[in-house]
Amino acid sequence: MAFPSLCHSQISLKISRTGSDIRVKDSAIRCFNIESVGQQGLAKGMLKCDWSFMGGSRIFFRPRLETFHFYRKNRPRLCASWLGPQLASNAFTWGTVAVLPYYSLMVLAPKAQLTKRSMETSFPYVVLGLLYAYLLYLSWTPDTVRLIFGSKYLLPELSGIAKMFSSEMTLASAWVHLLAVDLFAARQVFMDGLENQIETRHSVSLCLMFCPIGILSHVITKALTHQK
């Protein structure tokens, strides 16, 4: 059934927002198509026909008073889809920046008292450990154990590890893990060099990005130094 367009419709609304009422009465709409209302709209409203000699026949649609609640559509919300990448990116950046001063002291001023005191403190490892634990908590899923120990021998599989590290949060936690372990290894190399009077600046520099190679470099340097 086709419905004609209704002109000069009058609408009376009652809008409630935070306890206060806002009334909009007799708002004229120049053209109102009743097909857009549907059967539910007709059930909630009331059609009224009027006729006059000058204006002809008119049909008025008067909906019942309804209550509407307004919500801010643009209100910012912290959700996992936004928080995950942002937090992972910040942890990656600030974790890297946090360890650079310690490497700089070991390389640029290895014999300074400030460097020695900095290497004796456990503060950076506590901070990195807490950050790592938090990122690990956020990245942990029910499938994490299955991905790590996916083989029938309960050994890690490369395909499962690769799938697990496809998440930015998991990748950020692994990076913080590497930062903490690399810094600890660099400190051990540095302290051993001070004790045995061995040059360690090249080995410490390698520990920043290539920790196993840095340790190997220190072992070779120590062996060559003791042969002299």
pLDDT band at 57 (very low <50, low <70, confident <90, very high): low
Mean pLDDT for all residues in the chain: 74
Q: For the chain, what are the domain ranges?
A: 5-63, 80-227
11 pLDDT more than 70: no
CA distance 59 to 47: 7
Mean pLDDT of the region 146-158: 75
102 pLDDT more than 50: yes
pLDDT band at 52 (very low <50, low <70, confident <90, very high): low
Q: What is the pLDDT of residue 64?
A: 53
CA distance 147 to 108: 43
Least confident of 39-53, 182-196, 199-213: 39-53
Q: Could you tell me which of 177, 178, 215, 187 has the C-alpha nearest to residue 107?
A: 187
CA distance 24 to 103: 69
- DSSP one-letter code for 64: P
Q: What is the pLDDT of residue 214?
A: 97
Q: What is the pLDDT of residue 178?
A: 96
pLDDT band at 22 (very low <50, low <70, confident <90, very high): very low
Four-residue CA torsion sign, 45, 49, 52, 55? positive
Q: Could you tell me which of 177, 176, 137, 144 has the C-alpha nearest to residue 161?
A: 144
Of 62-76, 148-162, 199-213, where does the model show the most confidence?
199-213
Q: Could you tell me which of 87, 91, 66 has the C-alpha nearest to residue 78?
A: 87
Q: What is the pLDDT of residue 159?
A: 82
Least confident of 32-41, 91-100, 185-194, 218-227: 32-41
pLDDT band at 19 (very low <50, low <70, confident <90, very high): very low
Tokens of residue 92, six digits: 């990656």
